[in-house]
A and B are shown apart, each in its own frame.
Chain A
C-alpha cells in the first residue's frame, strides 16, 4: 500500500458465502482492511451467474453478468473469496458479453479489476504474511477454477506459511477435482461421490486435522462427505484461518451431540 488514499475494494461475498457461511466474508473483509483497503459491499449483488452459464442458459448468465457489472462499478477492485466466481468475472464475463457493443467494454473493465481473494492479497497487495496463529496440521485443496483459470497455487501457501504453529501437509492429488462441479454433483451423484470419496481418502491419509481451500462449493462438498464418513477432520475456508476468524464452528468435524 503505497498511496495515501486507501484502495476502495468492493467485496463480492458470493452467493454461497452469503447464504451458508458469512464468516468467510468477514474474514475476507478483515484481511483486506488490515492490508489497508477500504472495504464495502456493492449494492445489488446476488450471484455471478455461474449456474446458468455452465448449464447452457447463456441468456440468464448474460443478464446476471450485467447486473454484477453495474453493481461493481465505482470500485478500484472487486475481490471475491472464490476461484470459480473470480474466474467467472475475470475470464467468462468478457466472453459472455463479447458481442454486446455496450457491455463488452464494461465487462473487460470489470475483469481487469476483479481478483480472487488470495491472489489479490499476494499478487496485488504484495502481502508477505499474516499475523495470526493456528496450532496444528492442515492440508490444502486447490480448487480447480482458482488453480487453472487464475493461477492460484502458491499464494495461499505463502500466507499459510506465515501462520504461527500451522504446518501444511500436502495431498499428492491436491490439484485433482473434488467432484463438486456445481450442478454436476447432483446430476451425476455417483461419479461425484467417487471423486469426493477419493479426495477424503487423501485428506485422511495426510493426518491433517484441518482441510482448507478457497472455494466454498468445494469445501461444502468435501465437508459434507467427511461428515457423512464420521471423520474428525475440520473443514474451513482458508480466509477464516488467515484472518483468525475461528468463532464459527468448522464446516464439519463437529462431534455428533
Chain B
C-alpha cells in the first residue's frame, strides 16, 4: 500500500474530530489494557519471562543467518519449499508463482501484517486472483477497502453500525429484512459467507507468529480458528512472514507465546494455537498437498545492521499502541501505513523512508508507557529518539524549529548570557501576565496558547533570588 504517513498531522486532526472513531478507540482501554493488566498480574514470573523473551530474540538476531538456514533445511526435509524474498516485489512474485503453478484462482488468507506490508492483495488482484481475508477484522476492512488500523485488531476503529453497512453493501444474498445489528448476528453472517470461501479456495496464505528452526514449523495463533481452516482446507499452504520471526526451538517459541498472548489480548492462551510443520503426510487426516514458506526481508536486514536493531525483537502484540496516549487519541490510520503506534513510529520510517514518515517518531511525548509494557523490552522511546537524531543530522527538520533550538542551545551553553536572558524573560512575561498571573495569548507561542493559558513567571529567577539571599 502506498504510504500516507506524510499526512500524519492533517489525518490526526481529522481523527480527533471523528466521534465514531473516538468511541471505538475508547473501547481499547477496557478490552485490551485492563485485560493485559489482569493477565500480567496473574503471572508472578512475567518480568522474568520478559527478560527471557528478550534474550531469546537477541540471541536469534545475533545468529539470524544460521537459524534461517536451519529452518529452511528442516522445512525442505519435510517436503516443503522455502522462498527467500529480498523485497516486497520479490515476495509478491514468489506467491504469484506458487499460485500460478498450482493453477489457483481463489486464495484465502488469515491475518498477516507482512502481506499488508508487501501489498500482496493488490498484487494478487492484478493477476486476476481474488484473495479473501478470513480474519473477521481483516475481512471487514477488505470489504471497506481500507488498511488495518491496528495490528491485532485491524477493524478496531469501526463500530457495529459500520460493519453492518459494509456487509449490506457487499453481501448481495443478504435479505434487507434480516436484522444484523448485534455482534453475534454480524459474526454469523460473516461465518456464513466465509464458509464457502474456505471450502472453495485453492491456496491458503497465513502469516506466522513464530518460525521454529529446530522443526521447520510455523506457529500461528488466532481466536477465530480461521488460520487453521486456511492452512488445512486448500491444496496449498503458503506461510508468508518476516525473517525476524524465527526462533531456535519450540521451547523458545513457547516462552514468546506466553508473552505474546498476554500482552496482546490479556488471554493466557488464544482460542487456537497451531503449529504447522509441512504438508499432509500419509497418516494425516487432512492438510495441504504443498507447503511453502516465503521469508521476507524487505528492509529487515538493513534494520539488523542499524542502531535500531532492537526493533527486530518485536513480536507484534500491539501492547505499545494499546497503551500509547497518542495512538489512543488519533487511532491507527493517522500513521498512514501498516504499522501504527510506537512500534510503527520506528518500523514505518525503516520501510517507507524517514522523510515520508517524518512525523511518526516525533509524535510521541516519550512517556515511556510503550517500553514499560513491551513484552520483549524494546526501548521504543530511545529508538524514536535515534530517528529524530537522524532527521536532525540530515537537516530534515523545519527551519524555524532548527533555528529556535539552536538559539536556545547556544544561550544555554553560556551561563552568563543565559542568566541575563532568563532574568529578562521572567520580568517581561510576569509583566505581560499581569495580576491574573497568566497569558492567554503570546506571539510565537500559538502552539501553546491556542489551547491553554501560559502561567506567568512570578518575576525574578530562582538564581537571582537565591544569590540575593532569599530562602
Chain A residues with CB under 8 Å of chain B are 13, 15, 17-26, 29-30, 41, 43-47, 49, 51-58, 60, 63-64, 67, 144-145, 148-149, 175-177, 179-196, 220-221, 223-225, 227-228, 248-249, 251-252, 254, 256-257
Contacts and interface: CB of A to CB of B under 8 A. Distances in A.
B188 interface: no
A45 B453 CA distance: 28
Contacts of A249: 437
Interface string B338-366: 00000000000000000000000011111
A30 B471 contact: yes
A131 to B, nearest CB: 18
Nearest to B460: A22
Interface stretch (B52-60, B129-137, B252-260, B385-393): B385-393
Contact of B364 (A58, A181, A228): A181
Interface string B397-421: 1000100011011011101001000
Given A186-B448, A189-B447, A144 B369 contact: yes
Task: List the 7 shortest-distance A-B pairs measured between CB atoms, nearest first.
Answer: A181-B365, A186-B447, A56-B392, A224-B452, A56-B388, A177-B367, A22-B462
A181 B378 CA distance: 20
Given A18-B422, A30-B471, A41-B466, A189 B405 contact: no
B409 A189 contact: no
A18 B412 contact: no
Contacts of B412: 15, 46-47, 49, 64
B364 A193 contact: no
B420 to A, nearest CB: 11
B226 interface: no
Interface string B179-209: 0000000000000000000000000000000
Contacts of B411: 46
B16 to A, nearest CB: 6
A192 B185 CA distance: 39
A54 B388 CA distance: 8
Contacts of A192: 365, 451
Contacts of A30: 471
A254 B455 CA distance: 11
Interface of B: 9, 12-13, 16, 325-326, 329-330, 362-369, 371-372, 385, 387-393, 397, 401, 405-406, 408-409, 411-413, 415, 418, 422, 425-426, 435-438, 440, 445-448, 450-458, 460-463, 465-467, 470-471
Contacts of B425: 19
A46 B13 CA distance: 36
A177 B369 contact: yes
Given A22-B461, A257-B436, A187 B455 contact: no
Nearest to A257: B435
Contacts of A196: 451-452
A44 B415 contact: yes
A110 to B, nearest CB: 17
Contacts of A19: 422, 425-426, 457, 461
Nearest to B419: A46
Contacts of B9: 188
Contacts of B461: 18-19, 22
Contact of A191 (B330, B436, B470): B330
A60 B411 CA distance: 11
B462 A57 contact: no
B452 A227 contact: yes
A189 B450 contact: yes
B366 A225 contact: no
A145 B418 contact: no
Contacts of A228: 440, 451-453
B329 A191 contact: yes
A55 B388 contact: yes
Contacts of A189: 446-448, 450-451
B interface majority secondary structure: helix
A26 B12 CA distance: 41
Given A46-B412, A227-B438, A257-B435, A57 B405 contact: yes
B436 A256 contact: yes
A15 B422 contact: yes
Contact of A177 (B325, B408, B440, B447): B325
A195 B12 CA distance: 13
16 contacts: A13-B463, A55-B405, A56-B385, A144-B365, A144-B369, A148-B371, A176-B325, A191-B329, A191-B330, A191-B363, A195-B329, A225-B453, A227-B452, A228-B440, A254-B437, A257-B435
Contacts of B12: 188, 190-191
A87 B188 CA distance: 52
B415 A45 contact: yes
A73 B166 CA distance: 66
Contacts of B401: 55, 183, 187
Given A144-B367, A145-B368, A186-B448, A41 B409 contact: no
Given A19-B422, A248-B458, A194 B16 contact: yes
Given A44-B415, A148-B372, A220-B455, A22 B438 contact: no
A102 B436 CA distance: 49
B465 A22 contact: yes
B437 A194 contact: no
A221 B445 CA distance: 13
Contact of B457 (A20, A26, A53, A194): A20
B163 to A, nearest CB: 26
Given A149-B368, A180-B365, A188-B9, A53 B436 contact: no
B453 A252 contact: yes
B17 to A, nearest CB: 9
B325 A179 contact: yes
Given A21-B457, A188-B9, A224 B365 contact: no
Contacts of A224: 438, 448, 452-455
Nearest to B9: A188
Contacts of B388: 54-56
A25 B457 CA distance: 14
Contacts of A252: 438, 453, 455
